[in-house]
Structure 1
Amino acid sequence: MLVELLRSDGQQVVVADPRDERGLDITRPDDALDAALGDADSALLAVPETVARAATVVLRDRLRPGALLVETLSVKSRVAESIRALGTPAVGINPMYAPALGMAGRPVLAVVHHPGAAVEVFLDLLRRAGATVVPVTAAEHDRLCAATQAATHASVLALGLALADLDAGTEASLAAAPPPHTLTLALLARITLGSPAVYWDVQAANPFAREARAALAAGLDRLSRVCESGTEAEFAALMAQARGRLGEHAPHYGDLCAALFDALPLPLGVRTAGGRTP
């Protein structure tokens, strides 16, 4: 996605990937890659954290003064200090969507590790491509991702595990699924059909993910206690507290949910008047 964006902006891009036919490795650059790094206006690290740490050592001695460093790590707080120590303009970004969805209108978190004109030029390129750039600190980034990604993914995966334990009958439950369940099944499919490495990183690498899962478990435990030994009034209060997190945006999300429900196809196994199965 970023390679295409940079090339569409007229920039020449050299891709270093040990898996492709050229076999270029940012952690062990050959003479050609050394030369490219020395001439580069920017270096973009779209690699795992272990590779990024090794790469910063390489880049420290090769990037020219003022060259931009961009990283796309899913966890920012653990690498922020080492990247700042390079002394070159540096920014970490995290597109909060799958690349296939496209950048237009989508949020991109941005952590400025070391300010500079090159950082602003790069962020402006993202904005011109339609992205909504959301500036945050490294710690804010990781806490935000723990809440919006780790907790969300954990709740969906936990439902999938619960459905397996409940053994409600797959075909019957799919045919009878109300809209909220259908949407959640769609989320479950999207996550579980994705790359385990990506979702593992969200849960295991983020230092705040454990706290997010604990908060999720505590919320479910509180709900269970109210349902098993509380009153309807206590349940209503619990709902109001949960809704309070949405604030003034609650009507917007209510309308969004109604639109999503209206756009859903019929449940699997349900036949239309013409006898077709959608």
Structure 2
Amino acid sequence: MTPVNGPDARPPVVAIVGCAGAYGRWLTCFLSERMGLQVIGHDPALADSLSPRTLLQRADVVVFSTPIRDTPAIIESFARLADGIEAGQLWLDLTSVKQAPVQSMLGSRAEVAGLHPMAAPPKTVTLKGHTMAVCRARILRWQAWLDALLEELQADCVEIDPQAHDRAMALVQGLVHATHMVQAKVLCVLAADAGGLPGLHGLRTTGHQLDLAVTGRILSGNPAIYTGIQFDNPHMPAVLARLAAAAAELRDAVADGSSDARTAVAERFLQVPAAWFGDSVLAACSHDFERMGYLQADLQDRRFISVYLPQDRPGSLRALLDVFERLGINLASIHSSRTPDGKLHFRIGLDRLPVALESLRAAVEDAGIGLVLDARDGD
């Protein structure tokens, strides 16, 4: 169980507690397929999974990928069961709250680090493009191996103290989720009188679309994750109290309707926060908002073709664009994106079509460089 960096070192056996969950499944594939490690697991949902005792006896690294509310108690039960055999192991957890799980892991004799990948399990092979919070609580001999794991994950890693992490997550996750959960509840009550979601979509703004995308993402996810972030982060009651007080202040001012109330709202809710953000941050945020607006406009374009390039090699995109040039087709936009199952593709907006859409589809596929996933001519 000793991590050795030499070429003759035995690769560690990694055990995942909660291996049947979304992140447990993703991490199993990552560790086994990308890093070539032996992965074992325990999960109450799997009748044939290893028992906790067997898992502890065989593992070098134990990863707890379990529901937030249950994680501290699960860790403590494993520490009691281990009864010293965990000495020399590395224990990690993947929950959205860090202080309680890390504290529970420190009750064992293992080396300890808390991890928080701040994204749902991706459809890609790594966490590239996503952030990972790293709380190194007690790391000695496993330092080099943990560093290698984080490098292989390709996340943007942020080293942080568990308590500071939870305080920040109450704002980064908890506040954002709370406001959109409230929006969802209000929409359920009031949207029907405004034509429902289709009626609102017809009068959409960029802000409405962005908000609805976040709200929809939350509603389509696992409720236990979002309730866990609200209920199990110790900093959330204070954040929600501030949110409720601010909403009540705005409500009362609007109900008052006086010029003084308008002035107060402009100052307290707009001018003071704007000064706190600062000009450079506001300019960057405004630019990001405009870019999202342009992107949404491009993705709403009904004349487009989406092409998957199975051979990801230099020159593939150029070869694809040569087809459009040969047919005299001008491009309105081009964006790389991913399908729901994770395939990278290019969505190409078309300015006009001097040839039939089926001719374009055939030309792309006959060239042998891409597979057309979808194509439309404004219908």
SS in 2 for 1:66: coil
Residue 256 (structure 1) aligned to one of 281, 288, 305: 288
Tell me the residue number matched to 1:214: 241
Tell me the residue number matched to 1:6: 31
Cα distance change, pair 213–74 in 1 and its aligned pair in 2 (3 A): same
SS in 1 for 2:110: coil
Q: Is 1:38 aligned with 2:57? A: yes
Residue 116 (structure 2) aligned to one of 94, 98, 104: 94
What stretches of structure 1 of length at least 5 have no aligned partner? none
Displacement of 1:231: 5.1
Cα distance change, pair 82–51 in 1 and its aligned pair in 2 (3 A): closer
Displacement of 1:126: 1.7
Q: Is 1:20 aligned with 2:51? A: no
Q: TM-score, normalised by structure 2?
A: 0.63
Residue 198 (structure 1) aligned to one of 195, 216, 225: 225
Cα distance change, pair 70–187 in 1 and its aligned pair in 2 (3 A): same
* Aligned length, in residue pairs: 268
Residue 97 (structure 2) aligned to one of 54, 65, 75: 75
Q: Which structure shows the bigger proportion of residues in strand conformation?
A: 2
Displacement of 1:23: 3.0
Aligned-CA RMSD value: 2.8
Displacement of 1:209: 1.4
Q: Which moved more, 1:6-15 or 1:163-172?
A: 163-172
Amino acid at match of 1:115: I
Residue 53 (structure 1) aligned to one of 76, 85, 88: 76
Q: Is 1:234 aligned with 2:261? A: no
Displacement of 1:202: 0.9
Tell me the residue number matched to 2:152: 128
CA deviation vs aligned residue, 1:247-275 (integer Å, no higher than 9, x gap): 4433222211111111115899x999x99
Amino acid at match of 1:76: K
Distance, in Å, in 2 between the alignment partners of 1:160 and 1:107 is 27
Judge conservation of contact 1:3–1:13 (CA < 8 Å) in 2: yes
- Larger Rg over CA atoms: 2
Q: TM-score, normalised by structure 1?
A: 0.84
Displacement of 1:128: 3.4
Amino acid at match of 1:197: A
Cα distance change, pair 245–83 in 1 and its aligned pair in 2 (3 A): farther
